[in-house]
Amino acid sequence: MERVQFQQEQMLAELKDLGEKGLFSSSEIKHILKKRTAFEMALVRRIPNKNDYLRYAAYEMGLEALRRKRAARLKIPKSPPSISDYALTRRQFHIFERALQKFKSDVSLWLQYLRLAQREGARALAGRIAARAVQLHPRTPALYVLAAAHELANGGMGAARSLLLRGLRLNANSTEMWREYVRLELGFVEAVRRRWDVLDITLDSAEGEGEGERVDRAEEQAMGDAARRAIMDGAIVRQAIDSGAKALPTIELFQSLQELIAGYPATEALRSALLDHLHERLAETLPGDASAVVLRATRALALTSAEELAGGALGQQPPEEMAAAYAQFVEEWCGKEDVDVHLKLYLVGGLHALIKRQSKSDKPPAAVLLAAHIRLLLTLADLPKPPAAPHRILRLAARYTSAAQSDARVWLARLCAESAHGTADSTSAAGASARRAVPACVEIWLWSAERCEQEGGLDALLAESMRADVAARRDVHQALLMRFVDALDALPSAAARRERVEHVARRCLPGAAVWARSFGVLAAADTGVDADEHEALLRDVYEYWRGAGDVEEATLSWARWLLERKGRGDEAMRVVARVHGAVGGAALAQRWAAVVRQRECDNQREMGDDPDETDDLNKRPIIFISPSAFRPQTFDRAADREQRQKGLAKADRL
User: Does the pLDDT value for residue 210 go beyond 90?
Assistant: no
How far is it, in rounded angstroms, from Cα 225 to Cα 214?
Answer: 17
**Average pLDDT estimate for 530-558:** 84
The ranges assigned to domains in the chain are 550-654
Q: Are 178 and 253 in contact (CB under 8 A)?
A: yes
Lowest mean pLDDT among 105-114, 231-240, 446-455, 504-513: 446-455
**Average pLDDT estimate for 175-182:** 92
Q: What local confidence, expressed as pLDDT, does residue 526 receive?
A: 65
Please list, residue by residue across 168-177, b when 16 or more beta carbons sit within 10 angstroms of its beta carbon and e when fewer do. beebeebbeb
User: Does the pLDDT value for residue 638 go beyond 90?
Assistant: no
Residues in contact with 328: Cβ distance below 8 Å, sequence separation at least 6, in sequence order? 294, 372
**Average pLDDT estimate for 487-492:** 73
Q: What local confidence, expressed as pLDDT, does residue 527 receive?
A: 63
Q: Tell me 395's DSSP state.
A: H
Q: What local confidence, expressed as pLDDT, does residue 453 receive?
A: 60
Name the band, by pLDDT with cuts 50, 70 and 90, for residue 305.
Answer: very low
User: Does the pLDDT value for residue 303 go beyond 50?
Assistant: no
pLDDT digits (tens, 9 = 90+) for 312-334: 555 544 567 778 888 888 888 88
Q: What local confidence, expressed as pLDDT, does residue 215 receive?
A: 46
User: Does the pLDDT value for residue 490 go beyond 80?
Assistant: no
User: Does the pLDDT value for residue 470 go beyond 80?
Assistant: no
How far is it, in rounded angstroms, from Cα 352 to Cα 349?
Answer: 5
User: Does the pLDDT value for residue 509 go beyond 70?
Assistant: yes
Q: What local confidence, expressed as pLDDT, does residue 179 receive?
A: 92
**Average pLDDT estimate for 536-549:** 85
Q: What local confidence, expressed as pLDDT, does residue 645 receive?
A: 62
**Closest alpha carbon to 343 in 334, 335, 352, 351:** 334
Looking at the whole model, is its pTM more than 0.75? no
Name the band, by pLDDT with cuts 50, 70 and 90, for residue 221.
Answer: low
**Average pLDDT estimate for 397-425:** 89
Out of 67-81, 223-237, 402-416, 618-632, the most confident range is 402-416
User: Does the pLDDT value for residue 146 go beyond 70?
Assistant: yes
**Average pLDDT estimate for 109-119:** 91
Name the band, by pLDDT with cuts 50, 70 and 90, for residue 57.
Answer: very high
pLDDT digits (tens, 9 = 90+) for 287-298: 878 888 777 776
What is the pLDDT of the chain when averaged over all its residues?
79
* Residues 470-477: contacts with CB under 8 Å, at least 24 apart: 471/440, 472/439, 472/440, 475/440, 475/442, 476/439, 476/440, 476/441, 476/442, 476/445, 477/508, 477/509
Name the band, by pLDDT with cuts 50, 70 and 90, for residue 454.
Answer: low
User: Does the pLDDT value for residue 469 go beyond 80?
Assistant: no
Q: What local confidence, expressed as pLDDT, does residue 289 receive?
A: 81
**Average pLDDT estimate for 131-158:** 88
Q: What local confidence, expressed as pLDDT, does residue 633 receive?
A: 41
pLDDT digits (tens, 9 = 90+) for 586-608: 777 778 788 888 777 777 666 65
How far is it, in rounded angstroms, from Cα 160 to Cα 130?
Answer: 12
How far is it, in rounded angstroms, from Cα 300 to Cα 185?
Answer: 26
Q: How far is CA 144 from CA 101, 110, 188, 239, 654, in A?
A: 21, 12, 18, 20, 79
Q: What local confidence, expressed as pLDDT, does residue 132 receive?
A: 92
User: Does the pLDDT value for residue 203 go beyond 80?
Assistant: no
**Average pLDDT estimate for 261-278:** 85
- Helical axes 531-547 vs 494-507, angle rounded to 10°: 20
- Helical axes 235-247 vs 251-263, angle rounded to 10°: 160
Residues in contact with 333: Cβ distance below 8 Å, sequence separation at least 6, in sequence order? 301, 339, 343, 344, 347
Collapsing DSSP states into helix, strand and coil, what is residue 174?
coil
Q: What local confidence, expressed as pLDDT, does residue 181 receive?
A: 92
What's the CA angle centered on 322, arms 321 and 325, to 5 degrees? 90
User: Does the pLDDT value for residue 279 go beyond 80?
Assistant: yes
pLDDT above 90 coverage of the chain, percent: 11
How far is it, in rounded angstroms, from Cα 516 to Cα 523?
Answer: 10
User: Does the pLDDT value for residue 96 go beyond 90?
Assistant: yes
Q: Are 298 and 255 in contact (CB under 8 A)?
A: no
pLDDT digits (tens, 9 = 90+) for 334-377: 888 877 777 788 888 888 888 888 887 777 788 888 999 999 99
**Average pLDDT estimate for 548-563:** 84
**Closest alpha carbon to 547 in 573, 511, 587, 588:** 511
User: Does the pLDDT value for residue 491 go beyond 60?
Assistant: yes
How far is it, in rounded angstroms, from Cα 182 to Cα 248?
Answer: 14
Q: Are 14 and 24 in contact (CB under 8 A)?
A: no
Burial of 194 (0-12, 13-18, 19+ CB in 10 A): exposed
Identity at 194, one-letter amino acid code: R
Name the band, by pLDDT with cuts 50, 70 and 90, for residue 632.
Answer: very low
User: Does the pLDDT value for residue 217 go beyond 80?
Assistant: no
Name the band, by pLDDT with cuts 50, 70 and 90, for residue 473.
Answer: low
Length of the chain in terms of residues written: 654
Q: Are 103 and 109 in contact (CB under 8 A)?
A: yes
Q: Are 548 and 511 in contact (CB under 8 A)?
A: yes
For residue 447, the Cα-to-chain-centroid distance in whole angstroms is: 29
User: Does the pLDDT value for residue 93 go beyond 90?
Assistant: yes
Q: What local confidence, expressed as pLDDT, does residue 117 receive?
A: 92
Q: What local confidence, expressed as pLDDT, does residue 299 receive?
A: 66
